[in-house]
Chain A
Amino acid sequence: MDYDLATIWALIIAFAVFVYVVMDGFDLGLGILFPLFRTKRDRDVVMNSVAPVWDGNETWLVLGGGGLFAAFPLAYAVLMPALYTPIIAMLLGLVFRGVAFEFRWRSLRERNRWDLAFFLGSLIATLAQGIALGAILQGVAVEGRAYAGGWWDWLTPFSVLTGLALVTGYALLGATWLVMKTTGELRDQAYRLSRWLLLAMLIAIVAVSAATPFLSYDYSERWFAWPNVLATAQVPLAVAIVTALLLRALTQRRDYQPFLLTLCLFALSYAGLGISIWPYVVPRSITVWQAAAPESSQLFMLVGVAILVPIILVYTAWAYWVFRGKVDPDSGYH
């Protein structure tokens, strides 16, 4: 059988990044929404709804980055300097919000400070991730085997747009997560927020989708050329259907549906990105085959991924199962 390791690895990394986006997405979203919850009790519930799992969620980011380093070292070596500032900003944001999970319990007096750190850290990390995505989409200057652009190339109206879009998307994930995990007034608030954020996310999806094809001839060709358009048109169509279902689920005050449908929206947007980018790993410059690590490396890791990722998914699912159901305001270990 003819197989193509580089493609397999591109799919694995795409999978890791997607799992990261939806898993850390909702807990970053909670950070973004944090200032909207005014009482200590509400904030404790919001924190407790993710405290047992956030660390596992963030590990997928390390797998995405580490996998890129291992499977496509050239792409990693080009992209990281190109995205220097957003990456550093993201890391510092994640430092603040990560420690806030433990620190905010340690001192009543300093709680507000760590709540603020949780909010700002989540917001900055999300903005930086969205901006990095936009910067990758718009293309990266490469010469030889190194980044050849300037230090501010990543900052454009388009990347700011993708940054804001991701903030909106994560916030929607966070709000629908709360619908699923909370009760009473907090849940009512989450329903209201979800409606507004759904509207905002739709606007963001439309704006990013409208802007992307104009970044380069390739993108528009890929989306609009006949007969490609027959296939690609399914993506916006599906987005419309999922949105309608999501709106209905919110009106009917369903528990689980809103979160799961939001995940569908993310999957569709992600597929849209895939259509735009493939087969580049650094758009316009380096394809997955050019960046691929030698076969010995990709095969060696493939064994590990094939055996270990299913096991990881099983025990991660178990951890979520242990903490299933609505959050009791009086639980926690602190």
Chain B
Amino acid sequence: MFESLDPVVLARAQFAFTVSFHIIFPAFSIGLASFLAVLEALWLWTGREVFINLFNYWLKIFAIAFGMGVVSGIVMSYQFGTNWSVFSDKTGPVLGPLMAYEVLTAFFLEAGFLGVMLFGLKRVGPKLHFMATLMVAIGTLMSAFWILSANSWMHTPAGYAVNADGQFVAADWFKLIFNPSFPYRLVHMVLAAYLTTSLVVGAVGAYHLLKNSRQPGARMMFSMAMWMLMIVAPIQIFAGDLHGLNTLEHQPAKVMAMEGHYQSHPDGAPFILFGLPDQDAAVVRYALEIPKLSSLILKHSLDAPLAGLDTVPREDWPPVPITFWSFRIMVGLGLLMAALGFLGLWVRWRGRLYDSRPTHRFALMMGPAGFVAVLAGWVTTETGRQPFTVFGLLRTVDSVSPLAAPAVASSLIAFVIVYFAVFIAGTVYILRLMAHPPHHGEEGPPGETPARAAGITPAPAIATRRLG
């Protein structure tokens, strides 16, 4: 029944599906781990109960999100081999070590200290427990470092040579790891993770403020989230712009696709706000344009000439409609985030931060915006790299395993069913936790005395009680 399907298309669909699901959880847990570390630090520093209540509240949500990130991440680590074995053979010598370093410096750190973070407060005392929280947060950032280095190398390969077996080998590890697009991509992604988390925290705070504007936990969450948005969203827009200029330098075809420039513009390119790109006819239909703006954004000059896809061989074109639209979704949401941040600042200045219902409603609606923007951003950059897996060097059609269509099709179906079952359940549980406000004496790591008395003095528990 699947014999007529193309295994390459199926393998791409499977990768896109599993990676899209996966990316959501790290994007959330990177930001949340840092948020938890900040909350625990504030609790240790000030001794205020609201911070430990919030810590325990978000810890339960973190545990679920992290669990889903782990299991979907294990899938990713094997997918290269099952569906992209030629890619694995050729890039293994350069990408493999980066991923091995991710496992060694990040995954083990997160997993090793996660147990203590979740269950160990009463066993090890607040100070050591804070160290565990910090290690988990650092682990998530290290993970981002290595995985984005590997991913960036696929976009802007550097520091490599090719051996007799057709494999990429390292010529200079420093250049390879710190390849040209890596710093931009890392900053853009980590900021995106922080934005995503602030939006979720802000939305949960807003939701409970709408019900009871005196709820102390909700006030603290909302206030912290609005500060974070106000600071990070503008930085992100600036970082995104730099990332775009870097992409223009190294992957011009991707920018042409993002901007919808099928044709070259010798004397100043317009910015296409909206339109329907038609890949076959190579035109953007119903385009709503602002003259010269594209040249101004990309070249910082109104009349700068801008090349279009007509300068690129047809077989090297990325699929314009997807890239064009996903880019607009990401940018649009980014602007809304900045708007929310400044609205927060405005109502705070007016002394209405906790009872401006329109602001709370806006924040509530923006809760999922970070996830959508992250997904849209990934679609933009990954689709924009097509038709290559390693940009300019290795084509997607030449990367795939010697696969039989029925095998990929059935595994794809299995992934879709399992992921929807598991991740919908997880989302429901997270939403259920969020539906309750953080309250006095929020249950986290429980028990008044150490859970296992043998050989452990109750001192940490007493200290905790005093501090809490």
Binding site for B on A (CB under 8 A): 51-53, 55-56, 58-59, 61-63, 65-67, 69-74, 76-81, 84-85, 87-88, 91-92, 94-96, 98-99, 101-103, 106-107, 110, 145-148, 151, 293-294, 296-297, 300-301, 304-305, 308-309, 312, 315-316, 319, 322-328, 330-334
Contacts and interface: CB of A to CB of B under 8 A. Distances in A.
A77 B92 CA distance: 9
Chain A interface mostly helix, strand, loop or mixed? Answer: helix
Interface in B65-84: 67-68, 70-75, 77-78, 80-82
- Indicate the size class of the contact surface on chain B: 35 or more
B377 to A, nearest CB: 25
Contacts of A147: 85, 401-402
A309 B105 CA distance: 9
Given A52-B116, A84-B82, A293-B93, A76 B99 contact: no
B274 interface: no
B78 A87 contact: yes
A296 B78 contact: no
Contact of B425 (A63, A79, A103, A324): A103
Contacts of A308: 104-105, 108
A77 B81 contact: yes
Contact of B120 (A71, A95, A296, A322): A322
Contacts of B455: 324-325
A84 B411 CA distance: 9
B100 A51 contact: no
Given A58-B74, A67-B100, A73-B93, A88 B169 contact: no
Contact of B418 (A81, A95, A305, A323): A95
Interface string B105-119: 101111111111011
A101 B67 contact: yes
Contacts of B81: 65, 69, 76-77, 79-81, 87
Given A95-B422, A294-B169, A312-B104, A62 B404 contact: no
B227 to A, nearest CB: 29
Interface of B: 59-60, 63-64, 67-68, 70-75, 77-78, 80-82, 85-86, 88-97, 99-105, 107-116, 118-120, 123-124, 163, 165, 167, 169-171, 173, 401-404, 406-407, 411, 414-415, 418-419, 422, 425-426, 429, 432-433, 443-447, 451-452, 454-455
A87 B89 CA distance: 18
Contacts of A107: 429, 432
Given A51-B115, A52-B116, A94-B71, A59 B103 contact: yes
B116 to A, nearest CB: 6
Nearest to A70: B96
A323 B120 CA distance: 8
A99 B67 contact: yes
A114 B234 CA distance: 43
Contacts of A296: 93, 169-171, 173
B119 A323 contact: yes
B101 to A, nearest CB: 5
B170 A297 contact: yes
A106 B80 CA distance: 33
Given A322-B116, A328-B451, 14 more contacts: A56-B108, A63-B104, A69-B81, A69-B95, A73-B91, A77-B401, A84-B401, A95-B74, A95-B75, A102-B67, A107-B429, A146-B86, A296-B171, A301-B96
Nearest to A67: B100
Contact of B167 (A73, A300, A333): A73
Nearest to B433: A106
Contacts of B123: 322-323
A99 to B, nearest CB: 5
B92 A146 contact: no
A301 B95 CA distance: 11
A80 B82 contact: yes
B108 A59 contact: yes
Given A52-B120, A106-B432, A294-B93, A331 B451 contact: yes
Contacts of A72: 92
Contacts of A63: 100, 103-104, 107-108
A103 B447 CA distance: 21
B104 A73 contact: no
Nearest to A89: B414
6 nearest A-B pairs in the assembled complex, by CB-CB distance:
A73-B92, A70-B96, A80-B81, A52-B115, A331-B451, A77-B89
Contacts of A73: 88-93, 96, 167
Nearest to B68: A99
Contacts of B444: 333
B93 A297 contact: yes
Nearest to A329: B451
B119 A332 contact: yes
A164 B289 CA distance: 65
Nearest to B118: A333
A301 B97 contact: yes
14 contacts: A51-B115, A63-B103, A69-B100, A72-B92, A88-B411, A95-B419, A99-B425, A106-B429, A106-B433, A294-B93, A304-B105, A305-B100, A323-B452, A333-B60
Contacts of B411: 84-85, 88
A122 B138 CA distance: 30
A133 to B, nearest CB: 16
A72 B90 CA distance: 11
Contacts of B63: 102
A308 B106 CA distance: 11
A66 B414 CA distance: 23
Given A77-B86, A81-B402, A328-B452, A304 B72 contact: no
Contact of B407 (A74, A85, A293): A85
B454 A325 contact: yes
